[in-house]
């Protein structure tokens, strides 16, 4: 179905010639232009510090976009048309006088909507917003998009956020968590709230535990400088994994509007049980990759990747969490994420309780329990594990088999990148899939407690082999409760 064309917008990207812009934002805008959702009267204004002609900008974006747009979707004529909407403004974000060039472009013929996408270090978000306000560039229909990481801890988040909120209203701020824009993540809410069969089962009455895994096979690559100050907890758990947990655990919002959805997620974040200091060792695992083999190629250690002799930063985290409310009382939520793991593989597993009394004893090696597996990436699939009888005489032999919903088979459509949906939501003025201040604070509140616990316990990361499923303690974390990580590759 063709997308509805949106109102004309000026999309201003600070860090417009940087990695995120070239890898994610520009390709996403190309696709939305191709699908005629971007209004042709709109403009895309890349901001950079150096001098650059229009031709140089177009050549730079072309060179990168071609790597991120599939050959089937590439169209020279569409690209040429897209390139006409690109503009460049030389602005040094911290030099007030340099904003005049941006003001000139914007004020000459303003479009209905203005988006300022801040793909820069968060430390300068406040000063950029201050300059935009001082130059009267923030209009009532302006939106400011903030890229993660939003700070290092609660204090730094508050200081960045307060500086932004001095210049724009909370309703104009769009804090990105790109996981919320992934098709399969959006589908989580549809799965839960449009299929009545799940609701009665979606609680401690029927659910034994929940697993959320976001595994990556890549290492830290060229982002070592940032990553070593952050680690997996701040980079992945505080945002992506907690957002996934919220979508699994939340109550049904009364409608899909931004505040109803975010209010429900906030309740989950506030119900997360803080992990007491004496349980940090048994309920959390930190790891750091060593040398190994990933995707058939030798992989070096984290320390070699970041070119340092020593580091206490974790590249792997596993946590046993609890949501202290009526629905989830007593149900562990196991979270796991890591770099340089055996595969890129993200999934949510809802492990249901076994039948109360097994009438087929001795005839199955598997416990008679159902599992709902929601594979987020790659090969998006929803699978329900059912126990069935193996056909044939000889009594009851039981075997777990799957009811499969493969998205590739069900929908013969391209899966748009998360940024496509999120960028268009900003133009539309729909912040449902973006994080509100109180959500980010609640997420920091819970994660910071664990970070402090690690510091206090001096809990160093356990080594794990690159290309494995993480340190042995993450298997112990499950085994101590009689559980194991779901593995189905």
User: What are the residues facing 43 on neighbouring strands?
Assistant: 10
CB 235, min distance to ligand BG6, A: 5
Among 216, 380, 439, 473, binds ligand BG6 (CB under 6 A): 216
Coil, strand, or helix at residue 197? helix
Residue 213 or 385 with smaller CB distance to ligand BG6: 213
**Burial profile 247-279: b = 16 or more Cβ within 10 angstroms, e = fewer:** bbbbeebeeeebeebbbbbbbbbbbbeebeeee
Q: Which is nearer to ligand BG6, 131 or 216 (CB)?
A: 216
CB of 182 to ligand BG6, least distance (A): 7
d(CA 212, CA 336): 6
Instruction: For residue 150, give Cα distances in angstroms to 155, 177, 258, 468, 482.
Output: 11, 10, 20, 30, 37
| C-alpha pair distances (Å), 168 with each of 122, 154, 318 | 16, 20, 37
CB of 262 to ligand BG6, least distance (A): 20
160 — phi, psi (to 5°)?
-65, -45
Nearer to ligand BG6 by Cβ, of 221 and 482: the residue is 221
Query: Minimum CB separation from ligand BG6 for residue 148, in Å?
Result: 6
Residue 464 parent element (H or E): strand 462-466
Q: Which residue is nearest to ligand BG6, using beta carbons?
A: 235
Q: How many residues bind ligand BG6 (CB under 6 A)?
A: 3
Q: Taking every pair of C-alpha atoms in the chain, what is the biggest distance, in angstroms?
A: 85
- Which is nearer to ligand BG6, 20 or 83 (by Cβ)? 20
Give the nearest distance from C-beta 149 to ligand BG6 in angstroms. Answer: 7
Residue 133 structure tokens: 């306000």
Residue nearer to ligand BG6 on the CB measure, 32 or 240: 240
Q: Which of 183, 208, 235, 305 binds ligand BG6 (CB under 6 A)?
A: 235
Alpha helices (H) along 276-406: 280-283, 302-306
| Minimum distance from residue 239 beta carbon to ligand BG6 (Å) | 7
Q: How far is the CB of 223 from ligand BG6 (least distance, A)?
A: 7
Positions of E strands within 281-397: 284-294, 297-299, 316-322, 332-338, 345-354, 369-377, 381-389
Helices vs. strands in the chain: H and E counts, helices first: 18, 16
Collect all residues with Cβ–Cβ distance below 8 Å to 135 and sequence separation of at least 6. Answer: 99, 100, 102, 103
Tokens 């503009």, located at residue: 87
Token pair for residue 140? Answer: 């009532």
Active site amino acids? 240
Kindly identify the residues of this chain, within the stretch 355-384, that bind ligand BG6 according to CB under 6 A. none
Residue 298: other Cβ atoms inside 10 A: 10
CB of 269 to ligand BG6, least distance (A): 18
Q: Which of 275, 241, 273 is nearest to 454 (CA)?
A: 275
State in Å, rounded, how far the first CA of the chain is from the last one: 33
Token representation of residue 380 = 């998006």
148 vs 371, which CB is nearer to ligand BG6? 148
305 binds ligand BG6 (CB under 6 A): no
The pattern of x and - marking residues 126 through 165 that bind ligand BG6 according to CB under 6 A reads ----------------------x-----------------
Q: Which is nearer to ligand BG6, 128 or 236 (CB)?
A: 236
Residue 79 or 125: the one with the smaller Cβ distance to ligand BG6 is: 125
Calculate the dihedral angle through the C-alpha atoms of 4, 8, 11, 12, rounding to the nearest 10 degrees.
-170
Instruction: Indicate the residue among 150 and 207 with the shorter CB distance to ligand BG6.
Output: 150
CB of 153 to ligand BG6, least distance (A): 16
Residues that bind ligand BG6 (CB under 6 A): 148, 216, 235
């Amino acid at each position: 179905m063709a997308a509805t064309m949106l109102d004309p917008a000026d999309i201003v990207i600070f860090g417009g010639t940087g990695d995120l812009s070239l890898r994610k934002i520009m390709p996403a805008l190309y696709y939305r232009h191709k699908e005629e959702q971007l209004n042709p009267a709109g403009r895309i204004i890349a901001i950079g510090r150096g001098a650059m002609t229009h031709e140089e900008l177009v050549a730079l974006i072309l060179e990168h976009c071609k790597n991120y747009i599939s050959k089937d979707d590439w169209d020279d004529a569409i690209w040429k048309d897209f390139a006409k909407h690109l503009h460049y403004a030389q602005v040094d974000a911290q030099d007030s006088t340099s904003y005049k060039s941006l003001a000139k472009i914007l004020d000459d013929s303003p479009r209905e909507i203005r988006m300022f996408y801040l793909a820069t270090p968060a430390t300068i978000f406040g000063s950029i917003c201050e300059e935009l306000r001082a130059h009267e560039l923030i209009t009532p229909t302006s939106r400011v998009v903030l890229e993660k990481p939003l700070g290092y801890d609660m204090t730094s988040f508050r200081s960045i956020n307060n500086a932004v909120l001095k210049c724009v209203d909370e309703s104009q701020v769009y804090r990105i968590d790109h996981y919320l824009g992934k098709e399969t993540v959006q589908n989580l809410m549809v799965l839960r709230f449009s299929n009545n069969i799940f609701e009665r089962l979606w609680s401690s009455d029927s659910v034994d535990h929940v697993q959320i895994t976001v595994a990556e096979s890549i290492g830290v690559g060229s982002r070592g400088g940032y990553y070593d100050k952050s680690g997996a907890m701040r980079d992945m758990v505080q945002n992506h994994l907690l957002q996934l947990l919220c979508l699994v655990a939340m109550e049904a919002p009364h409608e899909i509007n931004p505040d109803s959805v975010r209010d429900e997620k906030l309740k989950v974040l506030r119900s997360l049980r803080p992990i007491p200091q004496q349980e940090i060792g048994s309920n959390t695992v930190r790891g750091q990759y060593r040398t190994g083999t990933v995707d058939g190629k030798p992989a070096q250690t984290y320390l070699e990747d970041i070119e340092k002799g020593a580091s206490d930063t974790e590249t792997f985290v596993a946590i046993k969490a609890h949501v202290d409310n009526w629905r989830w009382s007593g149900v562990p939520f196991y979270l796991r994420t890591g770099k340089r793991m055996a595969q890129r593989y993200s999934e949510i597993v809802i492990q249901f309780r076994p039948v109360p009394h097994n009438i087929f004893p001795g005839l199955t090696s598997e416990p008679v329990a159902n599992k709902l597996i929601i594979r987020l990436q790659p090969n998006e699939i929803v699978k329900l594990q059912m126990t069935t009888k193996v056909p044939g005489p000889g009594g009851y032999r039981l075997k777990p088999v799957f009811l499969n919903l493969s998205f590739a088979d069900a929908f013969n459509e391209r899966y748009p990148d998360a940024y496509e949906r999120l960028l268009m939501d900003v133009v539309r003025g729909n912040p449902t899939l973006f994080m509100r201040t109180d959500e980010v604070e609640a997420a920091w509140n819970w994660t910071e407690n664990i970070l402090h616990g690690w510091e206090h316990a001096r809990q160093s990361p356990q080594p794990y082999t690159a290309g494995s499923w993480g340190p042995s303690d993450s298997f112990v974390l499950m085994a101590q409760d009689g559980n194991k990580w779901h593995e189905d590759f």
